[in-house]
A and B are shown apart, each in its own frame.
Chain A
Amino acid sequence: MSLPTTGPETLGGTSEETALVDPNSSTAKEISGKSPMRIALGRLLRDKIAVVCAIVAFIFVLIALFAGVISKVLGVSLETPFASSVLDMLNGGLPKEGPPLHGFDPDHPFGIAPRTGEDNLAYWLYGCRTSMIIAGSATLVAATVGIVIGLVAGFTGGLVDKILSFVTDLFLTIPFLLAALTLAPIISERFSTSPHYFTIQRWTLIGVLAGFGWMGVARLIRGEVLSLREREFVQAARVLGMPTRRILVKELLPNLAAPIVVSVSLMLPAFVALEAGLAFLGIGVTDGASWGRTIDLAVPYFDTYPLYLYEPMIGITLLVLSLNLLGDAIRDALDPKTRR
């Protein structure tokens, strides 16, 4: 799967002009001593949308981290009750108390699920955690793999570059959804008797997302390295006899910070959406709380119990939107050519 991680304009972040300041600007003197990253951060903080989005994303991170504590405080849990004790079986299995037919139920602030009677709030909180863990881990893995492959391919060149580029292109040709749909039953059959099936399922999901998400980063980094390695400071480091590892980590990597930050900040929301999408298709997390799975369960109730459907949708929309806008803002902040 290819992810539209960054556009070519972000490349400016590491280009020669980065540190140059418009001499006609009134603030020219003041900022002259700042690093490109400081400038970008300053721009970001002045961007109101970026700040709001960062706060929203941060709240979601807190929810994910403290899902257990929050549900305990609110008195809700993932436990399945006996359906007939909380559901009205004469009304198509809708809850006896709370929405959609009755008023607010303080025991279950988000209401309870029809058919199963599970608490919506607990599932929402833990669903957020599932989303964050899977999207976060997948981003971490994909970014690491992409950076390493990009660096090695770009810097080494020659045969290694050809092989790594070929592998990257090969992965780009595999259609993501098709691969995920094929892999899910294979994994399920291979591990279904394992007691750790659901842990394996989560790791598989992270693997699938990361496995088809690193190519964009790898290509981007390789392109950057290709232009950087011929620059004077790299040549100088070579002449001085610096080991390759040190050149890669100390000389090249800092100069790649901007494209990496940008691609990561855009990869994260894409993975959140994908995780939910896969769960909706029944090939994601199947055992417990997942926003996508809740949406799948809630679709038949769009008419009779819309709140049930809206809750996870609002969760996903808010999180993905804020992360996306934040990513855009970071890209703009890192791009010296942007003029707002």
Chain B
Amino acid sequence: MRRSKPLAAVATVAAMFALAACGGGGDDGDGNGGSGADRDFTETGAGDKDPEAQGPAPEVEGAQEGGTITVYLTSDPGPDSLDPTEGWSVTGNSIQQALTHRSLTQFMRNEDGDAILVPDLATDLGTPNEDYTEWTFTIKDDVTWETGDPITAEEVAFGITRSLDSETFPSGPGTEYSVHYFLDGDKYKGPYTDKGKSYDGVTFDEAARTVTIKMSTPFPDMDYWGSFMAMGPAPLGDTSNPPDYGKDPLTTGPYKIDSFRPQEELVLSRNDQWNPDSDPARHQYADGFVFKFNADQAQTDEIMLSGNAESQTAVSTGIGSDNYQQFDSELGDRLVQQGAQCISTLTPDYTKITDINVRKALAWAYPYEDIWLAGGEVPGVTRIPANSYMPPGMAGKKEYFADGEQFVFNPERSKELLAEAGYEPGEYEITMVYSEETLASAVQKQLVKGWEEGGFKVTGIPIAATESAYNIWLDPDNKINKKLNMRGVNWCSDWPSGSTMIPPLLKTGAVYNTALFSEADVDAEMDRIATIPLEEQADAWGALDEKIGTEYFPSIVTAFRNDLYAFGERVGSPAGLASIGAPYYQNLYVAAE
């Protein structure tokens, strides 16, 4: 799923030395990372599953009931709609899947900090047939809506069918997974666009409480896809009609929605109808949650550091790099560093920058450290150097280097490669957009300086600070977009598998393939991997990753991303959830004074 803030961060990267911290899972080898290095690095798990997990969720030691937790989501506008089918952003899904909306399966954080897949509405992780073309999920008997009505198999089936409607939910995750894998996903346009048509891909049996999904191609990752709230129930009839349903959707989790003002605030309160015995991962400790979107970073930092009553029950999903030292010394364990299975990429237009040496030269001339500093990141903490499309901790990831060694800022090497490709310094022109927002402008200045030193000529097209660069990059008819030969994407895995990293970014015609990369043998290999036995897939994705990186090098992965969360003094069990890169809201509680 994509990151909501592309520009300020698209270019930001951490310093070299942190690779040790990442690979070593805790200790920083060369001590160069400052105090950030002695912080335990929470690695992302490699996709464990526990189909046996049953509710209620294991009690958190010392947990208490009551209190309200305020979460500041700094510089993050949050979702515009709460419709579960629409949600495909880290912020929105992390909140809703943890607290308000249940789906077939879910992720849970185990004692080691790994994310493991456990059942949610379904009794287990689903039963596939032999070749993964048909999945059957049995819905638990004791699951209910916030109204107290039981959740029926028909409602679950209807919710799943909604995800096929890519016209009504153009930015929903169903556009990538349901449409691609479900039976007739390319023909049936969903219950709103194809009103009245019947659809045989998703069927239900109310008596047996089963929902059966038929696939057009084998889909072994259906159980992971089931952890998206889009794979949950939707009320039948007009109640769930978009777009109104997105303002106040009916909830099924331990909390219900009190009020929602997009880009400002989401208030949640206890849902009495939620049955803890049916839920193996969620808790209902706090009385309520308040999420503040677009929180000002400086203000949030002040609140979190003040230690006053307000800050004691607050959580911040980001901290300002200028205050990192103070946070680190004052908060201690309450400052959590979480690996997020996210990458930042720069995507040279594959149809315009056709020479692989030029693309490699761009990677060598990219001033990683300087850009990171200008972008307000913390070295070796929130950004670490990257070498592959698959993030650290993902099963099958290979430690390869596209140009022999780890890319660092090396303008001489860049000039050499440019000369090899037949270009004089200052001859090759790069055209890109940048936001006029202050951080992004500062990043752009460093980038231009680095690339110019490396022998490129850079033309930056400014866009308004309020506009998202994705609006330009993803619109093929945009007249600015047509001029660009450099774009970017920040991408996070949807579940720990190469299938959620490589195809969405590099398959011909994929929405977020802003490099416009297209190679027939790579496409064929992606299709092939989807059909081979599940055990072999991880390594196959890793091999494909290496093949793409070394043979084609279509885009520059500038960083693996990490997050920093600050927890108030009285917020219990501060931790992050690796699978989505967000605080583990499920376990938070407010301790007594």
List residues of A whose CB falls within 8 A of some B CB.
Answer: 80, 82-85, 87, 89-94, 114-116, 184-185, 188-189, 192-193, 197, 282, 286-287, 293, 296-297, 299-304
Across the interface, do A83 and B298 meet the contact criterion of CB distance under 8 Å?
Answer: no
A214 to B372, CA, bound (A): 45
Across the interface, do B379 and A89 meet the contact criterion of CB distance under 8 Å?
Answer: yes
Nearest CB in chain A: distance from B383 CB, A: 11
Across the interface, do B465 and A82 meet the contact criterion of CB distance under 8 Å?
Answer: no
**Contact pick for B369, options A83, A296, A300, CB 8 Å:** A83
Residues of B within 8 A of A90 (CB): 34-35, 325, 379
Instruction: Please tell me which stretch of B277-285, B349-357, B397-405, B433-441 contacts chain A, meaning at least 4 of its Cβ atoms lie within 8 angstroms of it.
Output: B433-441
Q: Which residue of A lies closest to B324 (CB)?
A: A92
Across the interface, do A301 and B370 meet the contact criterion of CB distance under 8 Å?
Answer: no
Residues of A within 8 A of B480 (CB): 192-193
A105 to B322, CA, bound (A): 21
* Known pairs A80-B446, A115-B373, A115-B442; A92 contacts B323 (CB<8 A): yes
List 24 A-B residue pairs with CB atoms under 8 Å apart, sorted by A's residue number. A80-B445, A82-B367, A82-B449, A83-B370, A83-B446, A84-B367, A89-B15, A89-B372, A90-B379, A91-B325, A92-B322, A92-B323, A92-B325, A93-B373, A115-B374, A115-B376, A115-B439, A184-B464, A193-B480, A286-B436, A300-B298, A301-B322, A302-B298, A304-B322
B370-427 CB contacts (< 8 Å) to partner A:
370-376, 378-379
* Known pairs A83-B446, A94-B322; A188 contacts B464 (CB<8 A): yes
Max count, chain A CB within 10 A of own CB: residue among B15, B439, B464: B464
**Contact pick for A299, options B298, B370, B461, CB 8 Å:** B298
Residues of A within 8 A of B325 (CB): 90-92
Max count, chain A CB within 10 A of own CB: residue among B15, B302, B379, B462: B462
The 7 closest A-B pairs by CB, nearest first: A92-B322, A90-B34, A83-B373, A83-B370, A84-B369, A300-B298, A185-B464
A302 to B297, CA, bound (A): 13
Residues of A within 8 A of B324 (CB): 92
Is B499 positioned at the interface, with any CB of A under 8 Å from its CB?
A: no
**Contact pick for A193, options B373, B379, B461, CB 8 Å:** B461
B295-336 CB contacts (< 8 Å) to partner A:
297-298, 302, 320-325
List residues of B whose CB falls within 8 A of some A CB.
Answer: 15, 34-35, 297-298, 302, 320-325, 367, 369-376, 378-379, 436-439, 441-442, 445-446, 449-450, 461-467, 479-480, 483
Residues of A within 8 A of B322 (CB): 92-94, 114, 300-301, 304
A91 to B446, CA, bound (A): 19
Interface of B is mostly: helix
A78 to B336, CA, bound (A): 38
**New A-B contacts (12) at CB < 8 Å, excluding given A83-B371, A115-B374, A304-B323:** A84-B369, A84-B370, A89-B372, A188-B463, A189-B463, A192-B462, A282-B438, A286-B441, A286-B462, A297-B438, A299-B298, A303-B302
Residues of B within 8 A of A84 (CB): 367, 369-370, 373
A193 to B376, CA, bound (A): 27
Residues of B within 8 A of A94 (CB): 322
* Known pairs A89-B373, A92-B322; A116 contacts B465 (CB<8 A): no
A297 to B465, CA, bound (A): 14
Q: Which residue of A lies closest to B376 (CB)?
A: A115
Residues of B within 8 A of A189 (CB): 463-464
**Contact pick for B437, options A83, A115, A282, CB 8 Å:** A282
Q: Which residue of A lies closest to B327 (CB)?
A: A92
A46 to B450, CA, bound (A): 57
Residues of A within 8 A of B441 (CB): 286
Max count, chain B CB within 10 A of own CB: residue among A80, A115, A296: A115
A193 to B322, CA, bound (A): 34
A303 to B326, CA, bound (A): 12
A296 to B462, CA, bound (A): 18
Across the interface, do A293 and B369 meet the contact criterion of CB distance under 8 Å?
Answer: no
Max count, chain B CB within 10 A of own CB: residue among A89, A188, A197: A89
Nearest CB in chain A: distance from B91 CB, A: 22
**Contact pick for B463, options A116, A192, A287, A303, CB 8 Å:** A192
Max count, chain A CB within 10 A of own CB: residue among B369, B373, B479: B373
Across the interface, do B373 and A87 meet the contact criterion of CB distance under 8 Å?
Answer: yes
**Contact pick for A116, options B34, B35, B297, B374, CB 8 Å:** B374
A278 to B465, CA, bound (A): 14
Across the interface, do A116 and B445 meet the contact criterion of CB distance under 8 Å?
Answer: yes
Q: Which residue of A lies closest to B466 (CB)?
A: A185
Across the interface, do B464 and A197 meet the contact criterion of CB distance under 8 Å?
Answer: no
Across the interface, do B320 and A300 meet the contact criterion of CB distance under 8 Å?
Answer: yes
Residues of B within 8 A of A92 (CB): 320-325, 378
Q: Which residue of B lies closest to A90 (CB)?
A: B34
Q: Which residue of A lies closest to B467 (CB)?
A: A185
A84 to B439, CA, bound (A): 16
A293 to B379, CA, bound (A): 26
Nearest CB in chain B: distance from A78 CB, A: 11
Residues of B within 8 A of A297 (CB): 438, 442
A116 to B302, CA, bound (A): 23
Across the interface, do B436 and A188 meet the contact criterion of CB distance under 8 Å?
Answer: yes
Q: Which residue of B lies closest to A193 (CB)?
A: B461
Q: Which residue of A lies closest to B15 (CB)?
A: A89
Across the interface, do B373 and A282 meet the contact criterion of CB distance under 8 Å?
Answer: no
Residues of B within 8 A of A89 (CB): 15, 369, 372-373, 379
Q: Which residue of B lies closest to A293 (CB)?
A: B438
Across the interface, do B465 and A282 meet the contact criterion of CB distance under 8 Å?
Answer: yes
Residues of A within 8 A of B374 (CB): 83, 115-116
Q: Which residue of B lies closest to A286 (CB)?
A: B436
Residues of B within 8 A of A114 (CB): 322
**Contact pick for B442, options A116, A185, A300, CB 8 Å:** A116
